[in-house]
């Protein structure tokens, strides 16, 4: 976008400059135990600088770094560089020059008020600019509240909240729709302007990861260090080792154990990451591994070691990530695994089903979410009142979200038995990563968005459109209901269930010895109630039974808690819903 001497705007094929809202300033100095959003933002900002084609890059930050210092971090040594300038976070002159201000968070309200206070929105056509924010998660109610604050702020239809997966996009549309309906009912509002909600994925350094994975010497070095013979297979997880914010590990451990037994070979399962609660979490994982995967060589490796991570991509044969948490909205690790040319076995969950093509790049494993109701409302109320932390809020939902153990085992067995299948899926995955999730491709989508926002802004200001009105949306609802679209299916009254093959009610007791399986009991029935459900299913035999049949004699107030009990039993691998 270029401005004429009269203040008019002429839209070009790409922005001339870009302004970033990045309080830390630095993009290379990431702390230990980094979160995915920080890695993603650093990668995005550097990629925009290197592949965006801008003549100038402006960074609003609050660090002590100079423009010269930041330029060294944003641009490779000896490569082409745009002019980089800096300013304080409240600067509005720099985004006015570029026509867009991008931040790596989804909070636009305070930036919109800042823009309004400086007269750089619809009140001054010659100085207006667009805001763009990036959504990394929609699960925390506090974050949804901050996104919802845009409803009462002067956010315009020529601003954008960037969604990284179709599931996130759908959830945000629903959020804004519910908010508009509430304002209409409460205040009689007839308009509900909202920012654009474009779909642009995250990306990874595809070529760099592919080169790491192809390093035969690195493969040999790590396997020798871990005492893994060439003929034995290594299954890999990469990511934060958090049962309450990422994935309960039990189903992965069980699937690798069962796959090893069925294949008649020793398997190795490397968990490359870090524990938010340190040794306490490590002990939980170790206890689960000892009881659920006694025949598997389970390894915990330091995910903060970049050399070790690079060697892991080379040493691995299959990537496994059975995420069950509403905190997850995209998933960088599976895309990195695809870039490494690994076949991936992942849960059919939110962003994973967008990045991975089932049967082509890997396998999507069915998931089952609880229907909500009283348990979800209780959880929402406890978190709203500050009686339970966010980690409990999402962790409790994950504990009552099932990933199909049998299908996960089948997928691993097929890949472990067939080098040809592993090679074909890995090659397809790497091609998809290169074509869809490499930074030059994604940066092109960002530039296209910036141009589109400039066109919308120019048209609205030219036509004298007045964009306003209040927008508000519920953001502390039942998490099971709010995120029911994440799972493959949701427990319904007529869903037919039966005992999983080869198990009986007595198999519940040894599973309860795993401490992780007993967490968050307040959202489900008692152990005797769970046992009674298993006995009913055993009596039903191969025909199975529906939740309506199983709960026919239960009081209405108790029924929702037994619904979550059924999903919890499915999570433990005792109940099958794919009948």
- What pLDDT, on a 0 to 100 scale, did the predictor assign at position 471? 27
Backbone φ and ψ of 368, nearest 5°: -135, 120
Residues 61, 24 contacting (CB under 8 angstroms) = yes
C-alpha count within 13 angstroms, C-beta hemisphere, residue 374: 15
| pTM more than 0.75 | yes
Residues 267, 233 contacting (CB under 8 angstroms) = yes
Residue 45 has pLDDT above 70, yes or no: yes
Q: Percentage of the chain with pLDDT > 90?
A: 69
- Range in 90-104, 110-124, 350-364, 540-554 the model is least confident about: 110-124
Helix (H, G, I), strand (E, B) or coil at 537: helix
Q: Which residue is listed with tokens 């090893």? A: 260
Output DSSP code: residue 75: S
Q: For 247-258, what is the mean pLDDT?
A: 98
Burial grade of 178 (CB within 10 A; 0-12, 13-18, 19 or more): middle
Residue 357 has pLDDT above 80, yes or no: yes
Residue 8 has pLDDT above 50, yes or no: no
- Range in 11-25, 235-249, 363-377, 563-577 the model is least confident about: 11-25
Residue 139 has pLDDT above 90, yes or no: no
Most confident of 117-121, 123-127, 211-215, 385-389: 211-215
pLDDT band at residue 216 under the 50/70/90 scheme: very high
Q: For 179-187, what is the mean pLDDT?
A: 86
Retrieve residue 399's tokens: 């504990």
Residue 10 has pLDDT above 60, yes or no: no
pLDDT band at residue 302 under the 50/70/90 scheme: very high
Residue 294 has pLDDT above 90, yes or no: yes
Mean pLDDT across the chain:
89
Q: How far apart are CA 108 and CA 133, in angstroms?
A: 7
Retrieve residue 287's tokens: 């206890």
| Nearest alpha carbon to residue 403 among 344, 345, 333 | 345
- What pLDDT, on a 0 to 100 scale, did the predictor assign at position 243? 95
State pLDDT tens for residues 386-430: 899 989 999 999 999 999 999 999 999 999 999 999 999 999 999
State pLDDT tens for residues 307-333: 999 999 999 999 999 999 998 889 999
Give the end-to-end CA distance of the chain in Å, rounded to a whole number.
Answer: 56
- Range in 110-124, 145-159, 324-338 the model is least confident about: 110-124
- Range in 8-22, 118-132, 495-509 the model is least confident about: 8-22
Residue 192 has pLDDT above 90, yes or no: no
State pLDDT tens for residues 471-481: 222 344 678 88
Retrieve residue 544's tokens: 């199975």
pLDDT band at residue 355 under the 50/70/90 scheme: very high
State pLDDT tens for residues 420-433: 999 999 999 999 99
State pLDDT tens for residues 425-468: 999 999 999 999 999 999 999 999 999 999 988 888 777 664 44
Q: For 246-260, what is the mean pLDDT?
A: 97
- What residues have CB less than 8 Å from 254, skipping those under 6 apart? 292, 293, 405, 409, 573
- What pLDDT, on a 0 to 100 scale, did the predictor assign at position 513? 96
- What residues have CB less than 8 Å from 127, skipping those under 6 apart? 96, 118, 119, 120
Residues 497, 394 contacting (CB under 8 angstroms) = no
Q: How far apart are CA 362 and CA 47, in angstroms?
A: 27
- What pLDDT, on a 0 to 100 scale, did the predictor assign at position 31? 59
C-alpha count within 13 angstroms, C-beta hemisphere, residue 302: 6
Q: For 350-358, what is the mean pLDDT?
A: 93
CA dihedral defined by 241, 243, 247, 250, rounded to 10 degrees? 100
Retrieve residue 109's tokens: 């309200």
Residue 6 has pLDDT above 60, yes or no: no
Radius of gyration in angstroms for the set of CA atoms belonging to the chain, rounded to a whole number: 25
Please state, in angstroms and as integers, the Cα–Cα distance from residue 281 to each residue in 78, 233, 249, 334, following that order: 44, 26, 11, 23
The more confidently predicted of residues 80 and 405 is 405
Q: For 225-249, what is the mean pLDDT?
A: 96
């Amino acid at each position: 976008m270029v401005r004429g001497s009269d203040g008019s705007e002429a839209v070009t094929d790409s922005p001339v400059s870009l302004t970033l809202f990045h309080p830390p300033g630095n993009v290379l100095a990431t702390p230990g135990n980094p979160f995915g959003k920080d890695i993603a933002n650093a990668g995005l900002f550097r990629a925009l600088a290197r592949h965006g084609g801008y003549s100038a890059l402006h960074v609003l930050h609050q660090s002590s770094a100079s423009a010269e210092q930041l330029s060294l971090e944003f641009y490779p040594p000896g490569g082409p560089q745009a002019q980089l300038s800096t300013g304080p976070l409240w600067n509005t002159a720099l985004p006015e020059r570029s026509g867009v201000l991008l931040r790596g968070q989804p909070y636009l309200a305070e930036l919109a008020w800042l823009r309004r206070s400086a007269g750089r929105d619809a009140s001054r056509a010659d100085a207006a600019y667009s805001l763009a924010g990036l959504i990394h998660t929609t699960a925390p109610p506090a974050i949804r509240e901050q996104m919802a604050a845009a409803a009462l702020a002067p956010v315009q239809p020529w601003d954008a909240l960037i969604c990284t997966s179709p599931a996130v996009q759908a959830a945000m549309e629903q959020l804004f729709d519910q908010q508009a309906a509430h304002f209409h009912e409460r205040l009689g509002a007839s308009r509900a302007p909202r920012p654009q909600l474009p779909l642009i994925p995250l990306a990874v350094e595809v070529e760099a990861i592919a080169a790491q994975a192809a390093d035969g010497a690195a493969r040999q070095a790590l396997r020798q260090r871990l005492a893994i013979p060439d003929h034995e297979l290594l299954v890999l997880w990469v990511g934060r080792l958090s049962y309450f914010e990422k994935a309960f590990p039990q189903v992965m451990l069980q699937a690798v154990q069962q796959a090893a037994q069925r294949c008649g070979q020793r398997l190795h399962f490397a968990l490359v990451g870090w524990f938010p609660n340190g040794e306490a979490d490590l002990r939980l994982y170790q206890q689960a591994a000892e009881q659920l995967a006694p025949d598997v060589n389970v390894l915990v490796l330091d995910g903060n070691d970049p050399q070790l991570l690079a060697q892991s991509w080379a040493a691995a044969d299959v990537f496994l990530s059975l995420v069950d948490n509403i905190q997850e909205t995209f998933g960088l690790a599976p895309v990195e695994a695809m870039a490494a040319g690994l076949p991936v076995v992942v849960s059919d969950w939110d962003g994973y089903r967008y990045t991975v093509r089932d049967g082509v790049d890997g396998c999507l494993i069915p998931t089952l979410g609880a229907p909500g109701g009283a348990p979800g409302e209780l959880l929402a109320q406890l978190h709203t009142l500050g009686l339970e932390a966010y980690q409990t809020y999402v962790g409790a939902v994950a504990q009552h979200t099932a990933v199909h153990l049998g299908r996960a085992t089948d997928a691993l067995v097929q890949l472990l038995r067939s080098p040809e299948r592993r090679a074909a899926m890995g090659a397809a995955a790497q091609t998809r990563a290169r074509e869809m999730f490499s930074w030059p491709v994604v940066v092109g989508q960002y530039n296209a968005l910036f141009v589109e926002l400039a066109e919308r802004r120019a048209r609205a200001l030219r036509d004298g459109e007045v964009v306003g009105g209040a927008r508000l949306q519920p953001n502390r609802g039942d998490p099971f209901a709010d995120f029911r679209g994440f799972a493959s299916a949701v427990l319904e009254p007529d869903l037919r269930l039966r005992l999983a093959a080869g198990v009986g009610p007595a198999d519940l007791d040894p599973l309860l010895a795993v401490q992780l399986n007993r967490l968050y009991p307040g959202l489900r029935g008692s152990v005797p109630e769970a046992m009674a459900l298993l006995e009913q299913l055993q009596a039903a035999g191969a025909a199975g039974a529906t939740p309506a049949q199983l709960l026919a004699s239960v009081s209405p107030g108790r029924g929702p808690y037994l619904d979550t009990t059924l999903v919890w039993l499915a999570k433990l691998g005792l109940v099958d819903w794919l009948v």
